[in-house]
Chains A and B, each alone.
Chain A
Amino acid sequence: MVNEVLFWIVAFLTVIPSLALLFAKRPVHIAMSIVTVMVGLAAAYVGLGAPFLGVVQIVVYTGAVMMMFLFVLMLVGVDQREDLKETIKGQKWIGFAGSIGLAILLIAVIGKVTMEPRITGVEGNPEEIALQLFSEYVLVMEVLGFLLITAAVGALVLTHVPRLTPRRTQVELAEARVLAGANPVNKPMPGVYARHNALDVPALDPEGNVIEDSVSRVLEIRHQTQDGAEFRAHLENPEQKGGDDK
């Protein structure tokens, strides 16, 4: 039976990735697993005769909500690995026990219930849902609209950082820099003119010494810069063939 097969597929597609919530270490992996769960659930909805919800599930959850999660994850630092070692005494075991107890309890209750499945073949096609939404549930729809606007404004308020000092203009910034004794002219660009102008190669002064400032500090920290020695050697010994001199 197609439905049976579908159910088992969905079951594996949801339960296995959702376990990542408990055991995975990298938040990005978890988020991707949840995306999988959402897609599985969307398949389940379609299988249960609710194609509209299936589509909405994909669009809202997979497309919007989970992407927002990922976005926030990037914002707060994707590297925030979590140590799974529990810090609160007893939290782990009581938490597991409580969750498993809840699952057992729910399954036991559901198993006890015998219901007459009345499969009337009602398909949750978008038209019927739309009719219901905008007739019987129109008030709820409007209230939900308010809720969404409120949530949007709330998010704006929560993430807004009020400016405490007046904004400094570019002129003021430049003056301040000169006052502080900085070099008024531009820093030298990276790269060796006519030979190698990649960003990771420091510029050389007329005497052939490396100008440290010409390379982005980030690259330096990542040890992704070249020291330019081979090009200097090439300058000193024109006979030798350069690496990229093809």
Chain B
Amino acid sequence: MQSLIWLAIAIPLASAAFLLLAGKRADAWGHWVGVAASSVAFLVGAGALLEMLGESGDHPGMTLTLWEFIPGGDLNVDVGLLVDPLSITFVMLITFVGTLIHFYSVAYMEHDVARRRFFAYLNLFIAAMLLLVLADSFLLLFFGWEGVGLASYLLIGFWNQKNEYATAANKAFVVNRIGDIGLIVAMGMMFAAFGAVDFETVFAQAPEASTATLTAIGLALLLAACGKSAQFPLQSWLGDAMAGPTPVSALIHAATMVTAGVYLIVRSAPIFNGAPDAQLVVAVVGAITLLLGAFIGMAKDDIKKALAASTMSQIGYMMLAAGLGPIGYAFAIFHLVTHGFFKAGMFLGAGSVMHAMNDGVDMRRYGALRGVMTITWVTFGLGWLAILGVPPFSGYWSKDKIIEAAFVGDGWQPWVLGGAALVGAGLTAFYMSRLFFMTFHGKARWNDEVHPHESPLLMTVPMMILAVGSAFLGLFLASGDRFAHFLEPVTGHAEHHDPVIPIPLIIGLTLALVILGAVIAWLKYGRADVPEEAPAGSLATITARNDFFQDSVNRAVFQRPGQHLTRTLVYGDAAIIDGAVNKQARGWARLGEGSRKFQNGQVRSYALTMLVGVVVIALVIVMGA
């Protein structure tokens, strides 16, 4: 099946093209085509995984060269697919979660007139994301990278009849392009340094390259990762991206696309291994983002935005792990997989709640939904326990390892990074519990027009499956370090390091902070009454509620100076460059005006000029002779 992995990309792509071109006659059954395409992709991926598990040897998987893409003189790029444990992990996550969300969307988008188009975009996304993770060169990866960006843009702006949604799509698109510049620059530097952009050549030559080169490439890659994964300082688009339909938020903006940055960092491990400074920057960015996301999550009343902040924060954990080097890569991917499950599950749960609440997203209008939406409550609860890191649920196995790994090292780094991870765990516990209690517990605060009801089976079954994954996947993969061993051919073997403080103490501290956070949340939002209108709040609350004024900061730091710069440039262009050109042109025009006087149209004047010229030339000749 590994050699057929291209089908996993081709089928959803063909399905997307078909659905977009089929027109209205496919409206009635088009969504099932999309579901089928995604399912087939999953089956192909599963076949490839089984084949890989059956293989022995140090390097399972294969490289599949499809055709010559760019036969340039010095730059030869082939379209090739790389099937290895890392990419197959992603293939499984994308196709499995993707297929579940396809099923879920059939019900969720039932009343939307453009459901066929929605599934076309979803399939396009699946194809592009698979291309991203299966590509065997940075250039082909870039195609997938742009493809998911396009799909994300189309899906965020799916309801583009609302102006603000269209704006949100534009915002996501623009911020992503900033990151893309990083990837392009990185490819350029790779080509300059190694003469190639395919993984094999680049990674083979990376150890010999200078640290400065690797650091530069690494930082450029980090910029790309920040854009795609909504990491500080390019995090501003993710909150607004929740404008898209909830299944999109679950699939693209929680489980898969936003983790592409982590994939890029882990995939480029040979580059980062040679650039400790770049690694440190990755880790610091991750740490900042995980705290930032957590703070934002604590203040948001919009359930989807709170979840988006949480996604940001969790990806921060992954980035932090990816920045720790070989000891962290496997855990970054591990957390990515478990996060993909529990966060997708929670987003679907949020979608289910919104479905019940007439698309209301304000958690202050929820409350006491446990009774009416039992299945959603249970599945969401399992995801909640998983993200909190309560043993033995999935999150515990992945996040705790990251916290442990963050405490490994010398000097100030373990204390700062580990401390951030530890505090983040407590904050996570608080804001997720707050979200959970505000939604499902306390008093009912919805108004009379709303009649909450449980969602149909087509929606709840995917939630249940994801909830099972949230509960047990971590335990399954973590037992005997199964997952870490599986990824070892890609991430490299990690020497065991001891954290600066003993592991049991870390686990204990983490759990204590988690329990503390959850209890505070229960006291404030579970037992006590939640005001229906958001209280004014302290300065910190306002700051967090406004996403740390990221938009204002962006506006003040980038947009305004940018505008001033462009205005200055426009002025300079008009005054100096155009001015010089115009002045010069005017000079020539004046010269022309002047010389026009010689062309007075009088034949005799011309004759006179000739005669004078003859006399002068003769004079010169005579004098010279």
Contact = CB atoms under 8 A, between A and B. Distances in A.
Do A and B touch directly, given a CB cutoff of 8 Å in the complex? yes
Interface of A: 88, 91, 94-95, 98-99, 101-102, 105, 108-109
Contact of B604 (A91, A99, A108, A109): A91
Contacts of B605: 88, 91
B611 A91 contact: no
Given A105-B622, A109-B622, A94 B608 contact: yes
Contact of A102 (B600, B604, B614): B614
The list of the 7 closest CB pairs from A to B, nearest first, reads: A98-B611, A101-B615, A98-B612, A102-B615, A95-B608, A88-B602, A105-B618
B619 interface: yes
Contacts of B604: 88, 91, 95
A105 B605 CA distance: 21
Contacts of B619: 105
What's the dominant secondary structure at chain A's contact region? Answer: helix
Contacts of B600: 88
Nearest to A109: B622
B608 A91 contact: yes
Nearest to A101: B615
A101 B604 CA distance: 18
Interface string B587-620: 0000000000000101011001001101100110
A105 B608 contact: no
A185 B615 CA distance: 70
Contacts of A99: 611
Contacts, number: 30
A102 B611 contact: yes
A94 B609 CA distance: 10
Interface residues of B, number: 12
B614 to A, nearest CB: 7
Contacts of B614: 102
B616 to A, nearest CB: 9
B166 to A, nearest CB: 70
Contacts of A108: 622
Contacts of A95: 604, 608, 611
Contacts of B618: 102, 105, 109
6 contacts: A88-B600, A88-B605, A91-B604, A105-B618, A105-B619, A109-B622
Given A88-B605, A91-B604, A95-B608, 14 more contacts: A88-B600, A91-B602, A91-B605, A94-B608, A94-B612, A98-B612, A98-B615, A99-B611, A101-B615, A102-B614, A102-B618, A105-B619, A109-B618, A109-B622
A109 B621 CA distance: 11
Nearest to A112: B622
A190 B125 CA distance: 114
A109 B611 CA distance: 17
Among B602, B612, B619, max chain A CB count under 10 A is at B612
A91 B600 CA distance: 12
A78 to B, nearest CB: 23
A98 B604 CA distance: 13
A98 B605 CA distance: 12
B574 to A, nearest CB: 43
A99 B614 CA distance: 11
A94 B611 CA distance: 10
A39 to B, nearest CB: 28
A88 B618 CA distance: 26
Nearest to B611: A98
A8 to B, nearest CB: 28
Contacts of A98: 608, 611-612, 615
Contacts of A109: 618, 622
Interface in B493-543: none
B450 to A, nearest CB: 94
A88 B602 CA distance: 8
Given A94-B608, A95-B608, A98-B608, A105 B615 contact: yes
B74 to A, nearest CB: 65
A121 B327 CA distance: 120
A91 B608 CA distance: 8
A109 B622 CA distance: 8
A108 B602 CA distance: 31
Contacts of B615: 98, 101-102, 105
A86 B611 CA distance: 18
A186 B395 CA distance: 132
Interface in B187-234: none
Contacts of A94: 608, 612
A222 to B, nearest CB: 36
Nearest to A102: B615
A101 to B, nearest CB: 5
A88 B600 CA distance: 10
B613 to A, nearest CB: 10
A53 to B, nearest CB: 27
A91 B622 CA distance: 26
Nearest to A104: B615
Contacts of A101: 615
B189 to A, nearest CB: 71
A99 B605 CA distance: 14
